[in-house]
Amino acid sequence: MQWKALHNSCCRKKSTAPKKIIPHVDFSDENAKESGKALDKLFSSEQQASILHVLNTASNKELEAFTLLRGKKSLSIVEHREKFGPFQNLESLMNVPLFQYKTTIQVCNSILNPETGGKKRKLQENRLLRKLIKPEIGRERLKAINSIVSIVSGTRRIAWAHLDRQLAVLDWQQTEYCRLMKGTYLSSAYLEENSSLFPILLHFHIMEAMLYALLNTTFTRDGRHQVLSMNRNAVGKHFELMIGDTRTSGKEVVKQLLSESVLKEEPRVFFPPDKIVRYRQMFSSTEQYRIEELYDSLLQAIAFYELAVFNTES
């Protein structure tokens, strides 16, 4: 179970972009030639000139800036242009591999309305954010985040990591709390009597509700959520810790981050010089016991910045 307390401080702009051209066409092979000729009728002479200028002058990298031209399509355009010369009309684009009539229409619209690709990318990012963190939080708020406290709770201990926007570790600790629970409330005791995972899941949900209620009361501002939960497997995938649906230990990743903080001029995570010794000692003292909550709290904070915050700034 993983949590984040955010320490941080929209208006929709009406689009003035030309309306997309989505004609009703027959895509059968019999009408392919007629469809090709019809391309020139779908766009004005000025629009055709703009599209052809991009197709004939843009580099592979510049073409990839258009969402629909990423990957093999942009490379195919450049190779076709080098082999057969500049495109003379829109119909000639259909001679490029991977370009059929419908695709050509979409590409032309994308070139005329480059912001459309950006909108699609934002929609994709929003879908990813919904899978990554709950409850939903606006992109503008994510951009404004200055520091977070990442909290991970297990069956016996709780750990937290406080990182600022520069990925500097301001605080990183863990403590055992099993002494706060008595008797059969321990998950290990349930497992001795019952192999079902239900008691452990119940324990996690209870702790989740308690942490959320306590932290959100403290950090809530203007009726907006300041406490979020984060998908643990998404963090695992970000650090390549997943084997199928199973997440492996993050110990080696954290160990590498600690080493890079000392050896590299620009490490991925910065541990302040006055704290690095204490953090390394803390890690070494728990290494043989694999305190996953401690590792996860740090990795979760890093993943939150890299996946949810920095990805929204482009």
Task: Tell me, yes or no, if the pTM score tops 0.85.
Answer: no
Rounded CA separation 293/286 (Å): 11
Same domain, 97 and 168: no
Same domain, 105 and 235: no
Same domain, 95 and 150: no
One-letter amino acid at 94 equals M
Q: Give the position of tokens 């969402």.
A: 67
Same domain, 200 and 291: yes
Residue 196 in any domain: the answer is yes
Q: What is the pLDDT of residue 185?
A: 47
Same domain, 204 and 108: no
Residue 154 in any domain: the answer is yes
User: What's 38-90 look like in SS3?
Assistant: HHHHHCCHHHHHHHHHHHHHCCHHHHCCCHHHCCHHHHHHHHHHHHHCCCCCH
Four-CA torsion 122, 125, 126, 128, nearest 10 degrees: 160
Same domain, 174 and 259: yes
Is the omega angle on the peptide bond into residue 267 within 30 degrees of 0, that is, cis? no
Residue 294 in any domain: the answer is yes
Closest CA to 73 of 52, 89, 93: 93
Same domain, 92 and 238: no
Same domain, 157 and 304: yes
Residue 15 in any domain: the answer is no
Q: Enumerate the H helices of the chain as residue ranges.
A: 32-42, 45-57, 60-63, 72-84, 101-112, 114-132, 139-143, 187-193, 198-219, 232-238, 251-263, 273-287, 292-303
Residue 128 in any domain: the answer is no
One-letter amino acid at 91 equals E
Q: What range does the domain containing 98 cover?
A: 45-115
Q: What is the pLDDT of residue 298?
A: 96
Number of domains present in the structure of the chain: 2
- Which of 115, 132, 156 delimits the end of a domain? 115
**What tens-digit pLDDT sequence spans the chain (314 residues)?**
455 554 443 333 344 444 444 444 343 444 545 555 667 778 888 888 999 999 999 998 888 888 788 778 888 999 999 999 999 988 888 889 888 888 888 888 888 887 544 555 566 666 777 788 888 887 788 888 999 999 998 877 889 999 999 999 999 998 887 554 444 445 454 445 445 566 666 767 777 777 777 776 666 566 666 788 888 899 999 999 999 888 899 999 999 999 999 898 889 999 988 888 889 888 888 777 778 999 999 999 999 999 888 875 54
Same domain, 86 and 171: no
Q: Give the position of tokens 């990925």.
A: 167
Residue 95 in any domain: the answer is yes
157's tokens = 């201990």
Kindly report the number of other CB atoms within 10 A of residue 307's CB atom. 21
Q: Give me the phi and psi of 243, to 5 degrees please.
A: -120, 100
- Which of 65, 100, 115 delimits the end of a domain? 115
Q: What CATH number does the domain containing 111 carry?
A: 1.10.150.280
Q: What is the pLDDT of residue 18?
A: 47
12's tokens = 């929709």
- Residues with Cβ within 8 Å of 32's Cβ and at least 6 positions away in sequence, in order, are 94, 101
Same domain, 197 and 57: no
Residue 204 in any domain: the answer is yes
CB contact at 8 A, 307 and 168: no
Same domain, 62 and 163: no
Closest CA to 232 of 283, 293, 171: 293
Q: Give me the phi and psi of 151, to 5 degrees please.
A: -120, 130
Rounded CA separation 80/145 (Å): 46
Closest CA to 38 of 89, 97, 77: 89
Same domain, 234 and 94: no
Residue 16 in any domain: the answer is no
